[in-house]
Amino acid sequence: MKAMILAAGLGTRLRPLTNTIPKPLLSVGGTPLIVWNLLLLRACGIRDVIINLHYLGNVIEEAIGDGSRWNMQVRYSPEPTLLGTGGGLKAAEWFFEQQPFLVMNGDTLIELDVKALIEFHQTHGGVATLVLRDDPQAAQWGAVESDAHNRILRINGRGMRQADLTGPLVERMFAGVHILHPSLLHDAPTETPFSIIDSYTNELARGSKIFGFLHAAYWSDIGTVARYAQAQADAEAGVISPHS
């Protein structure tokens, strides 16, 4: 399986730290965030990765290179104009060769059993699988509602019609890691910004199967100075460490 790391964001909430350093290159425990994710992917056997670039993209490309130092192949998808999570995937559609692929955010620090995620996706046979977390603030992150069989029915209140919902639903939050089939991108506009969540909710409204993979281990979205400081403290305390 191939993977894409989303690294085109501006990192505005982390300024001034990101004035000259793109967020994916901020160091946690002496290792840049994006390298944590490359090592996680390599540990599960994924070695073919593409990274989208926009803000200080040349700095990321210079730091990571072709990935050979980690025995990986890294390619890049430059975005002169930010395309959003969906538009960025659409621009790199050629890379996936009509096969399911994994996506993760370049600023997310996560301890994830990627092999179990891939097996779950293959076993359930949905068009996509989203990694979900229990969180008391799930609604603030964007509530993902799923049933007792881990099938996702609505995201941010959109998807399956209320009249078609049966049984209790559980609200969780999307952890920023997902597997999807490129067919989801076929009808999407090219060179146009959009969110992949819009594609997912459209598929849910059509009755397509999308599943949630429950994640209970370490996760941190390095979106603010406070969360960055906490991640650094966690790494120093040995709560999380990069894969070797």
In a domain, 28, yes or no: yes
In a domain, 242, yes or no: no
The domain that holds 126 is classified in CATH as: 3.90.550.10
The count of domains in the chain is 1
In a domain, 243, yes or no: no
Mean pLDDT computed over every residue of the chain: 92
Reported as a pLDDT band with limits 50, 70 and 90, residue 94 is very high
Under a CB-based contact definition with an 8 Å cutoff, are residues 220 and 109 in contact?
yes
What per-residue confidence (pLDDT) applies to 54?
A: 95
Can you give the residue range of the structural domain that contains 138?
2-236
Spacing of C-alpha 183 from chain mean position = 18
* Cα–Cα separations (whole angstroms), residue 160 to 22, 114, 128, 144, 172: 38, 28, 16, 12, 16
pLDDT in tens, 98-146: 999 999 999 899 999 999 999 999 999 999 999 999 987 766 777 999 9
In a domain, 78, yes or no: yes
pLDDT in tens, 39-61: 999 999 999 999 999 999 999 99
What per-residue confidence (pLDDT) applies to 165?
A: 67
Reported as a pLDDT band with limits 50, 70 and 90, residue 160 is confident
Alpha carbons 236 and 232: distance in angstroms, whole number? 6
Reported as a pLDDT band with limits 50, 70 and 90, residue 163 is low
Q: Which of 43, 39, 33, 40 is nearest to 7 (CA)?
A: 33
In a domain, 185, yes or no: yes
pLDDT in tens, 164-198: 666 788 899 999 999 999 999 988 888 899 999 99
Under a CB-based contact definition with an 8 Å cutoff, are residues 144 and 132 in contact?
yes
In a domain, 107, yes or no: yes
Reported as a pLDDT band with limits 50, 70 and 90, residue 11 is confident
In a domain, 244, yes or no: no
Under a CB-based contact definition with an 8 Å cutoff, are residues 91 and 201 in contact?
no
What per-residue confidence (pLDDT) applies to 174?
A: 95
